Amino acid sequence: LPMPELPTPVPPRRRTRQVHVGPVAVGGDAPVSVQSMTTTVTADVDATLQQIAALTAAGCQIVRVAVPTQDDAEALPAIAAKAQIPVIADIHFQPKYVFAAIDAGCAAVRVNPGNIKKFDDKIKEIAKAASDAKVPIRIGVNAGSLDKRLLAKYGKATPEALVESALWECSLFEEHGFSDLKVSVKHHDPVTMVRAYELLADACEYPLHLGVTEAGPLLQGTIKSAVAFGTLLNRGIGDTIRVSLSAPPVEEVKAGISILESCGLRQRRLEIVSCPSCGRAQVDVHTLAEKVAAALDGLPYPLRVAVMGCVVNGPGEAREADLGVSCGNGKGQIFRKGEVITTVPESKIVETLVEEALRLGESLAAE
Ligand code: SF4
């Protein structure tokens, strides 16, 4: 499809090294990619693959699976082979699972060295295995599992403590000539998290994976992540993102895509522009907007569709919409590019908008 230019000037991206998570390039000039993590028991191969398929359909580009047990490690070959998107194995306590993940064909491994006892002794072997298999490693530092030494030094998980931990872990790999690294310094507080990533961005050239950890339920987690990622991405910082939510992981993917679209880093497919309603509204705008959004969900055209509560201000307020409706007197004035093209009863608004959206989308595609 011909895609229009991105709507806003895109901020220059921070210069980073580039790594490849399977076929997905991360860092360098690659677009920011969206990640999520499965919530199934990884050893349940069918359930995990089913969830990965749903995440893929929602637009997820890289998926992470937890590997806390031997059974999970043994499931990795089947999952890595059958998943439609690259799989990252998330290893917390057992270096032996890192080797298992690399052997299984996982596209990357995430380690939290603060959690892997005697990890330092194993770094050389891990670096060699990862290097031989061309598998990048993500150094994932988390406020909740910060190295005890740094916790003692800083008193708590400050931005400086998170960054010192991450850089130290990176240096352990660098000593063995391994630099296919991607780094994260997650914190549950967006302000601390933003500061940590700013410091980290200044201190290294590795691509960064953004995350506000334990961000909370859908609304709170999305807002925290949107504020933090928006601040960083607008400064060019961030190469992959994961919105961590206490919600089904498909919601994480939708939120992540929406954040990238809102930052001007990704072209929107469909945008619903709906008014908040006010005392002039002559229709239940909230319900109508929900219905229109649901009816047009998945429409593969980059259309901006407006749902406005009154005919007085609606078309003017939605002047830049491709298509829209303004309501009044039990009717909907359907407009295209600011011009009213028809007026329909309220009960026909949704179906008329869908018909017009398809017509407009197809004509765009034919251009
Ligand atoms: Fe109010 Fe009309 Fe504006 Fe909606 S479009 S907020 S109903 S003035």
- Give residue 344's pLDDT band: very low, low, confident or very high (50, 70, 90): very high
Rounded mean pLDDT of the chain?
Answer: 92
* Cβ of 89 below 6 Å from ligand 1: no
Within 8 A by CB and 6+ apart from 105, the residues are: 76, 77, 80, 81
CA distance 52 to 42: 11
- Tokens representing 225 are 């992540």
CA distance 168 to 203: 12
Cα of 240 vs its chain's centroid, Å: 7
- Which residue type is seen at 290? E
> 259-305: per-residue pLDDT in tens?
999 999 998 888 899 999 999 998 999 999 999 999 998 888 889 99
* Cβ of 259 below 6 Å from ligand 1: no
Average pLDDT of the residues in 174-185: 95
CA distance 90 to 138: 9
Nearest CA, atom 5, ligand 1: 314
Lowest mean pLDDT among 88-102, 139-153, 187-201, 306-320: 306-320
Q: Is the pLDDT of residue 1 over 50?
A: no
- Tokens representing 119 are 């990890």
pLDDT of residue 130: 96
Residue 201's closest CA among 214, 210, 189? Answer: 210
CA distance 297 to 77: 35
Nearest CA, atom 6, ligand 1: 277
Q: Which atom of ligand 1 is nearest to the CA of 318?
A: 5
Q: Which atom of ligand 1 is nearest to the CA of 309?
A: 7
- The answer to whether 275 is annotated as binding is yes
- Give residue 46's pLDDT band: very low, low, confident or very high (50, 70, 90): very high
> 323-332: per-residue pLDDT in tens?
999 999 899 9
* Cβ of 328 below 6 Å from ligand 1: no
Answer yes or no: pTM beyond 0.90: no
Cα of 56 vs its chain's centroid, Å: 12
The number of residues making up the chain comes to 367
What Rg do the C-alpha atoms of the chain give, in angstroms? 23
Cβ 98 vs Cβ 73: under 8 Å:
no
Q: What percent of the chain has pLDDT over 70?
A: 95
ipTM over 0.90: yes
* Cβ of 280 below 6 Å from ligand 1: yes
Cβ 212 vs Cβ 185: under 8 Å:
no
* Cβ of 277 below 6 Å from ligand 1: yes
* Cβ of 279 below 6 Å from ligand 1: no
Tokens 């987690």 belong to residue: 221
Q: Bigger pLDDT: 4 or 134?
A: 134
